[in-house]
Chains A and B, each alone.
Chain A
Amino acid sequence: MRIPCPYCGARDAHEFAYLGDATVTRPDPAAPDAEDTFFDYVYLRDNPAGPHSEWWYHASGCRQWVRVARDTRTHAILGTELARKPAGDAA
């Protein structure tokens, strides 16, 4: 499988480490229901047959976390973007 890294270009999937679901967001730890929301965040996962948003880490490349849209049925990569925009231009 080849993954188009937004920084490095198309790379072999071996260069990446897979984490999984990128649709979940770390909950507010101060919220009163934090224990429940964290339980869902840590354990509850959808398993869609089709497009899925996933975290892949470009371990052998630019060491960026990349949000990869992948079709779980075909492994087709529908798009990629960096988790964090470059340090940038502001200020």
Chain B
Amino acid sequence: MEYDKILEDLLGRKEFLIVGKSIIRTDALDKALGRAKYTSDYIQPGTVVVKEVYSTHPHALIKRLDTSAALEIPGVLAVYTGADVPGENQIGYAMPDQPFLCDEKVHFIGDPIAIVCAEDEYAAQEARDAVVVEYDPLPANFTIDETLAKDAIHIHEGGNIALTSRIRKGDVEKGFSEAKVEVEGTYETPYQDHAYIEPDVAYAFPEGAGKVTVIGAMQSPFLVREKVAGVLGWNLNQVRVIQALTGGAFGGKDDTGPLVSAKAAMAAVKLGRPAALVYDRFEVTAYTPKRFPSRIHLRTGVDKDGMLTATKVDIKLDCGAYANRAPYWLWRQTVHATGPYEVPNVHVDGTAVYTNKVFGGSYRGFGNLAVHFAVDSHMDRLANELGMDPVELRLRNVLTVGKRTASNQLLDHSVGIEECIRGVAEASDWAEIRKPRRKGNKVRGVGIGTAHHGISTSRGAPDWSAASVILNEDGSFTYRTSICELGQGTPIGHAKIVAEIVGAKMEAFHIEIPDTDTMANARPTHGSRGLALGGTAAADAALKLREQMVNTAATLFECEKDRIDLRNSMASCKDDPSKKMAFKELAHEMYVRGANPAAYGFFTPPRRFFDPETGLGVSYPAYTFAATVCEVEVDLETGQVEILKIWPAMDVGKAIDPLLIDGQIHGAISHGIGIALMESIRLDAGEVINPNLTDYVIPSSMDTPEVAESILVEKPYRHSAFGAKGVGEPAIISIVPAISNAIYHATGVSFNTIPITAERLHAALRRGGQ
């Protein structure tokens, strides 16, 4: 069915009661009282302390591993190495290239070699330091060029290329021959740390001999279950995974969740005791996956009318030690390589390479942050060359209904990027603020960035979601999904969808935390799919439950089903106001009459087609679009940039909760400012040299700009509940180019590397900017 039409087709309402209205989050009070429970708050005294022994070499063979001294330390219970792994000593996400505990070879500084288990933190620390690892060091590759050199040592057996991707659409050379202006450039983006405030953590306890429960910080409870079961050599139903409230994730905990959980679970199972692994900030910053760095070479042509004629892109993705999410990242970058613009001739080559560094992983915006930084920088440079306004150039080329993406996907609905661009241009009074403004050593500039971001898995890989809802005997509802609450509030969005459909009050809902023993797999909380897919599964469950409720009410009221109205937790007959009943009574009647008070929902988007040879096909079910205008002030003497104001706009399909969307937009602005101006994990010979929040600097409250009211464009996606599309990831993508283009406008310096630190900008100005 077309879920965006639920309102008209089924509810028969002109106005939504809950969907589209901002509410107070159902979890906010507990959080404000400090009573919300995160994983570490569950850990009981007497729990075994687990710590990891990490590789100190970026690339080496393990010659000898001696745990005997560590085992002598009082309070030490066990030291486990790869040889002790009962199941599979392999935990690679997309490719089997990642040992769970390295037993033959290490691939980066921070690769886990063993886990130590002790009665207390001090004994565990001492044991960690007492494990003797003798290495046979190998040459290491730290850069893309080093690892692609002909004589480079192989990091993994198959060589240093993890995978490649491509698009061949039209004829780029012909396209370039039609161009009046061409620009070319190489854009580099760094490792970015998620810097979630809650460090990674897992707490596991055995339940009898053949079952273990893991409570942890994660984004995909069922992925964690799969990995834990794999390491233990157990069936899936022997592992119960509970996602506790998670203190920020931004993609990172999708990768770390399985890794820390499996270690805690292995310790708990082997020792028959509760065990916990709690990272400190050093481990989080130095050893957990980061935003994949990439180097994107872009060549773009535009004709005299400002129409894009061709784009040629070469993407080099630096995986670090393991591929992890690299296939998905690279595919996403490949398919989005033209930005939200139609280009008739597209040629993309992507290569993901291994290096001996901390590996990359999921991070809000996925590869699209880097891609749109490159594309939108080019749009401004092209506009400059053509003498055309950057907004005008974008509007001429922007994707609209009937146009085709880089992978030749025809967009037949739900395309709101033009409205986003026009919206931010108007709100910011673009023509006016583009006028040059300099005062003393300060110069102001304004720039625009854009974004498109596919919902769900890449390349048409199968995707689905599940949910369940129970109407309890007292008229209250229990909602379950394994889509995780990470701060973004997606499960609350689900509950609002369910409440709207079944006509319940929000207060009647309790949202259970994800628990793999009590629900079907809703799949991960990533890929901007949590609301669009997870929420639609919720809608499916709600529609089934609603049918039971309506049937029962119709029987009781002796009226037609389509005359039943459900709202505010009351059932009534539209024709006879005297016929009404609170949900409490209705629930009771349903139970005694044998009407099913519970429903599972399931959703899978329409099938897609994708040809890996040409890179053409239907890549994603839908796209979220965004545009941002940013105003900066540059201190020409110091190179410092102050972000003065941001104007955000997004095509969200349907705003289920505008306040939650604002929260995503504001948070993404801060992450975007961070990577645009200050954030970068720095390495020296594979070692992270800024592994703390003192030297890995993220924006503080004082770095917060003024943010204009969000412009929410609503172009519903036909197949999702009420038409909603994901917002958290797309929100960050347009921020970086908006900032860099504003700096370009202010100073004449177009940066192709971020972060644009004061020092870098100062040096660039010295070299011949303004």
- The finding on whether chains A and B are genuine partners in a shared complex, rather than unrelated, reads no
A binding-site residues for B, Cβ under 8 Å? none
